[in-house]
Amino acid sequence: MRIEEDCIGKLPIDKQALYGIHTVRAVRNFPISHEPLDPLIIQSLIQIKKAAAETNQAAGTLSLAKQQAIVAACNQLLIGRHADSFIVPAIQGGAGTSANMNVNEVVANLGHRLNPTVKLQPNDDVNQSQSTNDTFPTAGKMALLQQLPGLLGAIGQLVQTLLVQANTYRDTIKVGRTQLQDAVPTTYGRTFQAYYHLFKRDLGRLQTAGEHLQLVNLGGTAIGTGVNATRYYQTHILTVLNQNTKLNLQTAPDLIDATQNCDLFVEFSGAMKTLAVNLSKFSNDLRLLSSGPQAGLGELNLPAKQAGSSIMPGKVNPVIPEVVNQVCFEVIGNDVTVTMAAEAGQLELNAFEPIMLRDLLANERYLQQAMHTLVKNCLRDLTVNKTACATAVEQSAITATVLTPYLGYMTTTKLIKRAMTAHISVKELLLKEKRLPATLIEQLFSPASLTQPRATKAPSIQNQA
């Protein structure tokens, strides 16, 4: 064992451990769960330490030997070595200080181990020109940006799959439904086209919110004033960091604002929440339209992925939309957490970024994987029951809506009631009673007429009623 000391007192630390006293205190103080800090945040913090060492050496505030030791340690950590040294919990007090210090301690001790002639101090050397208050949120944004291409790619895959289905079923007529009751007909081409546009908007929202995450407060140190950082460091740190990461980070216009306010996290969370709302609504529609198959709507045939019951033979459930629904519930709940955490910030700093970043990173992963399984295991092999759809349209009395310009609303209502009482279609009743010319009836009840605006004004023949 070795003894380390901080402002609280002394603690024994495992002699072989790369972490130090601050890390041990964090593990003891935050026994909330076994969930560790996200590896992407750790990797991003390491990238910041490496870039800071290079920048500080160029600024003349860090010796070449120390810079080389820090960079050597960071390079080892960036390829995954000593990953078990990062043990602070994901949910932690202190605005991320424990996460930052865990990295500072590991880099310092590993650098010394790699070059015993160089003694590195976690705060003075590894953390030089930095504060947790600018490194931790910057690392969080870096982590989110690294995951974002996967999320955007998953949305793009979903959008393209819906476009294919829209083209495949362009002319497949179906009953429209409002408030779960029959409405005028539409086509599955238009239905899938509407979903296509819905998720294209989600793609645009997330792209915009992602661009805003590139604005960081690195160089602002404790509260955004840049105290203890050199001018050289402030103007060069992002150049070095961008060269190493290719993330195109930019200095926020107001570092004090960027240090204390978390609205960009709320914006990004809101874009993911909106995507989750839309995905859940879409999944609800898939489950409802595929319900049955005998005693439900039965319009969609979802791929059978697994047995659905331990007691009912042959039962198959819509398990893919169901899992997507559950992911969406989680994402929406996490958005509430992010919202409350951002709102709870006080004065020059928000102390609750750890929970925000934990939930935002989880949401990115959940949504990406949910859309992957939705496309792969459901949408690509989904088919439409064209026969059932056509039969439903033929039997739906609401198709009589096309008669109102010719017969009027009240007369058409009476026709619908009589057709339903006689258990025949409105079209059959019209042909039987010869209310309108047969050619006109056939034209009015054609798929084109039922699903598109009228080409010309209907003649007023309501007196025939």
Assign residue 409 the CATH number of its domain.
1.10.40
**452 and 431 in a common domain:** yes
Residues 152, 203, single domain; the answer is yes
Buried b (16+ CB within 10 A) or exposed e, 57-77: bebeebeeebbbbbbbbbebb
> What is the per-residue pLDDT for 320?
97
pLDDT, residue 310, reads 81
Does pLDDT of 4 surpass 90?
no
Average confidence (pLDDT) over 111-124: 97
> What residue numbers bound the domain in which 450 lies?
396-464
* pLDDT band for position 458 (cuts 50, 70, 90): low
Select from 145, 18, 23 the least CA-distant residue to 77.
Answer: 18
Q: Based on the domain organization, do 379 and 428 belong to the same domain?
A: no
**What CATH number is attached to the domain comprising 378?**
1.20.200.10
Rounded to 10 degrees, what is the CA torsion of 324, 381, 197, 293? -70
d(CA 100, CA 86): 10
Residue with the bigger pLDDT between 112 and 465: it is: 112
Q: What is the DSSP letter of 458?
A: P
How many domains does the chain contain in total? 3
Q: What pLDDT is attached to residue 395?
A: 87
Last residue of a domain, one of 108, 128, 148: 128
Indicate the residue among 330, 364, 387 that finishes a domain. 387
Q: Say yes or no: 318 and 453 in one domain.
A: no
Q: What is the CATH number of the domain that holds 95?
A: 1.10.275.10
Asked if omega into 293 is within 30° of 0 (cis), the reply is: yes
Q: Which two tokens stand for residue 355?
A: 């929970």
Are 332 and 366 contained in the same domain? yes
| pTM attached to this predicted model | 0.93
H or E segment and range at residue 185? strand 181-187
Q: Which residues pair with 300 in a beta bridge?
A: 384
In this prediction, residue 397 has a pLDDT band, given cuts at 50, 70 and 90, of: confident
Residue 464 pLDDT > 50: no
Average pLDDT, the chain: 94
| Same domain membership, residue 411 and residue 309 | no
Is residue 217 classed as helix, strand or coil in its secondary structure?
coil
What are φ and ψ of residue 217, in 5° steps? Answer: -105, 15
> In this predicted structure, what is the pLDDT of residue 457?
62
Of the candidates 374, 365, 368, the one whose C-alpha atom is nearest the C-alpha of residue 324 is 374
Out of 129-138, 153-162, 369-378, 392-401, least confident range: 392-401
**CB proximity list for 337: less than 8 A, separation 6 or greater:** 355, 356, 359
Q: Determine the pLDDT at residue 190.
A: 96
Name the nearest CA neighbour of 18 among 86, 76, 65, 72.
Answer: 86
pLDDT attached to residue 177: 95
- Same domain for 266 and 404, yes or no, is no
Q: Write out the catalytic residue numbers.
A: 309
Pairwise CA distance, residues 175 & 183, whole Å:
7
Question: pLDDT-derived band of residue 456, with 50, 70 and 90 as boundaries?
Answer: low
Residue 89 Cα distances to 230, 331, 393, angstroms = 32, 21, 57
One-letter-per-residue 3-state SS of 130-183: CCHHHHHHHHHHHHHHHHHHHHHHHHHHHHHHHHHHHHHCCCCEEEEEECCEEE
Identify whether residues 225 and 244 lie together within a single domain: yes
Higher pLDDT, 141 or 434: 141
Instruction: Write the pLDDT tens digit of every residue in 31-46.
Output: 998 899 999 999 999 9
Residues 213 and 343 in one domain: yes
Question: pLDDT digit string (tens) for 272-290?
Answer: 999 999 999 999 999 999 9
Chain segment 190-203, per-residue pLDDT in tens: 999 999 999 999 99
For 174, left (φ over 0), alpha (ψ -120 to 50), or beta?
A: beta
Q: Is the pLDDT of residue 463 over 50?
A: no
Q: Which tens digits make up the pLDDT trace of 419-435?
A: 889 888 888 888 888 88
Read off φ and ψ for residue 193, nearest 5 degrees: -65, -40
Residue in the block written with tokens 């699903």:
451
Task: For residues 269 and 313, state if they share a domain.
Answer: yes
Among 103, 71, 67, which residue's Cα sits nearest to residue 88?
103
Distance between CA 215 and CA 265 in Å, rounded?
A: 11
Instruction: Using pLDDT thresholds of 50, 70 and 90, give the confidence band for residue 261.
Output: very high
159 and 229 co-located in one domain: yes
Query: Domain check: are 276 and 379 in the same one?
Result: yes
3-state secondary structure at position 369: helix
Last residue of a domain, one of 339, 361, 387: 387
- What is the pLDDT at residue 187? 96
